[in-house]
Chains A and B, each alone.
Chain A
């Protein structure tokens, strides 16, 4: 009963689309969007790849962790939906980080002790606080706990509509941005020029190149693998409940579809009694 006057709406919509589209095209020429990668944790049933998260953690620990904080508890590394380290591994890992105790000692002095699984990752050794990092590096490197959720880029019309629809739901933009930035140092003579960083000037010089990290499981030691693995690891760090969420979501949707179907027939029956 609601009838659209499409004849009137269309020209106006087209005019808007053209105006917006022309602007977007001009921008794209100089600022490319990160290409969409394929991830194990995308889609309706996607979950994290445990081996990949363990490799990604190794990259974080040996490279990113020198400057970036990661404010998550050690114990979450034992999460079976996440990296899935064993309890003993998590304990040993935590103990390898010196952590400042919450309370001072008997003499009233702050002291450091080996970390416990319940502790949060301490800040990098060289930069005990944000000010120290900013003083040495020019800018505080962002905390990586939520980095994968803090990075998005404009998809523009009409793509942002498709991104919300089933079977294409695009929720891995943060991982794509991280991968693209690590892959975007394309001017060898300028270590702070990045193809994908907005404005191309990035405070972080190229952090990682081929061969810096040696994987235990035989995965090739290339920048492509490092970038992919650490992007996956940071996606997990930002959204550790992803697997649980999708599992519960599937049950909720199945329940709701059955409920809606039954209510439809009840409604039909009830209303059929009315003339």
Chain B
């Protein structure tokens, strides 16, 4: 994200502006001329999809905030008012609640793609850590947004999560009261959560800009995990090649989004949130939204409250150390036969924990959650450091261009620019 001298304004106004604020040059170098590796697959379109979802959530959220009343007595009724009386209020609210789920779905594809292809390795460590910060901010935003409709599950969720802080020795109780603005979740809690839920997305926008900046300094990773050696042979300009691919993938993603919003809008929503919050009556079975379930399962798997809370936050914090926990210098799982097996085992642990998090607690689910939690932590703490030392990576192609040609079954090495223009 830095201006390059290759941009030449075509109009007099363009030249005038460029001499004073080179913003068009910045856009040109970042989103037009920016070289993208030619071997990127469909999983690399999720960055653009996430950018779209972030904007969509902010736009729908700002409109909802115009009609929403953040007080314990009015919040539930104001959401019902949005659903019944506001013009297309039902559409905006369903776009927003289901949009949160699809935002996380896209983020998980993006994160698992990063792990599979080793996108966190040098020189992309800062890029990766910025991503982990965005993920954390997303979870905080989603959690506080979930409290706003003030349904029975909103209230139960707010109570469970804020009570985690009481586990901190000595100061825990005080911290929880400070968060609540009282002695339990109530009106002040709802009001501040609304304020923060409005603020955090704009912080996310800020960190996303840093994320994109870091990406454009280090350049994109790619399915073969190879560095760009020859810009001419290994890359294609962002526009039109990446832009059109991103747009096509986005249109497919929007089909899924539209299906969810228009035909099964309540599928992912908890039925208990259609009942107004009542401190005297708690839902029989407290569950968070699907995207937080694996962490909820880890929390419940550990009998000691403080240890459970440490494990919960540790499970997220470990992600930030990934660049240094993985000792292999080979990036892509394509060329790491052992890592590939462990990656899918790790993926299975995450999905399994998610499923267990949605189930009622029995001896069997607790045991299974413990086994999978050990698998989750083991992947980071044991498997990744050891694997880099013992694994024999497969031979890698000499360059990205060679990888592209090998895939398309061509025998000859790519020629210079002139012959492929035909």
List residues of A whose CB falls within 8 A of some B CB.
1-5, 8-9, 12-13, 16, 19-20, 23, 44, 71-73, 76, 142-143, 145-147, 149-152, 157, 163-164, 166, 169, 171, 173-174, 198, 238, 240-241, 245-246, 248-250, 252-253, 256-257, 259-260, 263-264, 266-267, 270-271, 273-275
Contact = CB atoms under 8 A, between A and B. Distances in A.
B83 interface: yes
Given A1-B334, A4-B344, A249 B263 contact: yes
B362 interface: yes
B116 A260 contact: no
19 contacts: A1-B223, A9-B344, A12-B352, A16-B352, A76-B84, A142-B275, A146-B80, A147-B274, A163-B264, A164-B267, A169-B263, A171-B266, A171-B267, A173-B271, A245-B91, A252-B258, A267-B244, A271-B241, A274-B236
Interface stretch (B122-130, B315-323, B377-385, B414-422): B414-422
B232 to A, nearest CB: 11
A275 B419 CA distance: 8
B348 A9 contact: yes
A241 B90 contact: yes
B264 A169 contact: yes
B267 A8 contact: no
Given A1-B223, A149-B271, A164-B264, A263 B251 contact: yes
A260 B248 contact: yes
Given A240-B84, A270-B240, A23 B364 contact: yes
Nearest to A257: B255
B284 A198 contact: yes
A256 B261 contact: no
The 4 closest A-B pairs by CB, nearest first: A249-B262, A275-B420, A152-B271, A150-B274
Interface in B72-98: 77, 80, 83-85, 90-91, 94
Given A249-B259, A253-B262, A273-B421, 9 more contacts: A5-B340, A151-B271, A245-B91, A249-B261, A256-B255, A257-B255, A259-B251, A271-B241, A275-B420
B110 interface: no
A171 B240 CA distance: 41
B248 A267 contact: yes
A23 B362 contact: yes
A262 to B, nearest CB: 9
Nearest to A24: B359
B196 interface: no
B259 A150 contact: no
Interface residues of B, number: 55
A72 B80 CA distance: 9
B352 to A, nearest CB: 6
Interface string B368-390: 10000000000000000000000
B266 A274 contact: no
Interface in B265-306: 265-267, 271-272, 274-276, 284
Contacts of A44: 263
B58 interface: no
Given A152-B271, A198-B284, A260 B240 contact: no
Contacts of A143: 276
B403 to A, nearest CB: 11
B170 interface: no
Interface string B234-249: 0010001100110110
B172 to A, nearest CB: 34
Contacts of B271: 149-152, 173-174
Contacts of A274: 38, 236, 241, 420
A238 B267 contact: no
Contacts of B63: none
A245 B93 CA distance: 12
A273 B267 CA distance: 43
B198 interface: no
A248 B95 CA distance: 13
A245 B251 CA distance: 20
B344 A150 contact: no
Nearest to A163: B267
Contacts of A240: 84
Contacts of B116: 2
Contacts of A12: 348, 352
A260 B263 contact: no
A73 B271 CA distance: 23
Contacts of B364: 19, 23
Interface centre among A13, A145, A263, by most chain B C-beta atoms within 10 angstroms, is A263
Nearest to A148: B274
Given A16-B368, A245-B265, A146 B258 contact: no
Given A72-B84, A249-B263, A252-B258, A8 B368 contact: no
B267 A157 contact: no
B341 A8 contact: yes
Nearest to B43: A2
Nearest to A20: B359
B6 interface: no
A240 B82 CA distance: 12
B355 to A, nearest CB: 7
Nearest to B251: A260
A117 to B, nearest CB: 13
A56 to B, nearest CB: 18
